[in-house]
Amino acid sequence: MKPCFPSVPFFENSQSQVRHWIEQYQNQTIVFEKEHEAALSRLLPLLVCGEQSAQWVFFNEHQRNSQGSHQGSEQAFERIVADEQLHEMALALVQRQLPKPSDLPSLKRRSQHFYLEFGHQITFMDHFAQVACLDALVCRIMLAIERGELGAQHPFTLLCRMIKQDEARHVSASKHYALELGFDHSAWPTMRGRVADKLHQLLESERAAFEVLGVDLDWVFKGQGEP
């Protein structure tokens, strides 16, 4: 099945620990309980689509900055693209070992629509403020999985911990960039609320799958402060 978004050129300068996770588990079968297997089979398409979308966001800005007035951000964006590529590879590795939901095309279409609409007709500063808010929520999802039913040392838990650490750095980079472009610091709570509402609409239909993994979506979306 085709990806949500086509691949961007591959960058190799990621310092993410996810690279080592892939090396360790790429030739191993990752064992899940049946109920966890079924739940993750519904959630991973959404996560993989998000990683593919993020690559385009930062790749496009990397290309724009190579000739623009914010060339200092170029290296940071290149590293973020490389991180997101590793995240996609690791999540796809797990996904290939799981059963395919019968409504997989629908799951992917909903996720693709969410990300296509995400940056529609807004300024660059607003777009990167949105990205910072979205990645902050991804951090909370990863933290919730990390604390959930799989167990602290399960390979997928370890992966989520590593992705969370990377995404926290991406939040800082996106937030700094949005402010550099002129985003109003006082507007963060409003922006986070807007992004949270949109992401909640995407994920609410999969609440049961999150609950199987021990993830409380209400906790994920609690609070409306800065990313």
Digit-coded pLDDT (tens) for 146-175: 999 999 999 999 999 999 999 999 999 999
Residues 210/149, Cβ–Cβ less than 8 Å: no
**pLDDT above 70 (res 71):** no
Where does the pLDDT of residue 34 fall: very low under 50, low under 70, confident under 90, or very high at 90 and above?
very high
Question: Residue 9 domain-assigned?
Answer: no
Query: Which range among 1-5, 113-117, 126-130, 140-144 shows the weakest confidence by mean pLDDT?
Result: 1-5
Q: Is residue 38 included in any domain, yes or no?
A: yes
Asked if 143 contacts 222 with a C-beta cutoff of 8 angstroms, the reply is no
How many independent structural domains does the chain possess? 1
Taking only the tens place, the pLDDT of each residue in 8-17 is: 888 877 889 9
Q: Which two tokens stand for residue 107?
A: 């799951």
Q: For residue 19, is it within any domain? A: no
Look at residue 35 and tell me whether its pLDDT is greater than 60: yes
Q: Give the CATH number for residue 126.
A: 1.20.1260
In-domain check, residue 5? no
CA dist 37 and 59 (Å) reads: 32
Answer yes or no: is 182 within a domain.
yes
* Residue 67 placed within a domain: yes
Closest CA to 25 of 79, 99, 89: 89
Identity of the amino acid at 22: I
Residue 188: predicted pLDDT: 94
Instruction: Determine the pLDDT at residue 120.
Output: 75
Residue 22 in any domain: the answer is: no
- Local confidence band at 219 (pLDDT 50, 70, 90 cut-offs): very high
**Angle at 89 (CA atoms; ends 83, 95), nearest 5 degrees:** 135
* Whether the Cβ atoms of residue 40 and residue 98 lie closer than 8 Å to each other: yes
The model's pTM is: 0.93
> And the tokens for 66?
């190579």
User: Within a domain: residue 43?
Assistant: yes
Q: Are 91 and 48 in contact (CB under 8 A)?
A: yes
Structural domain harbouring 150: 32-220
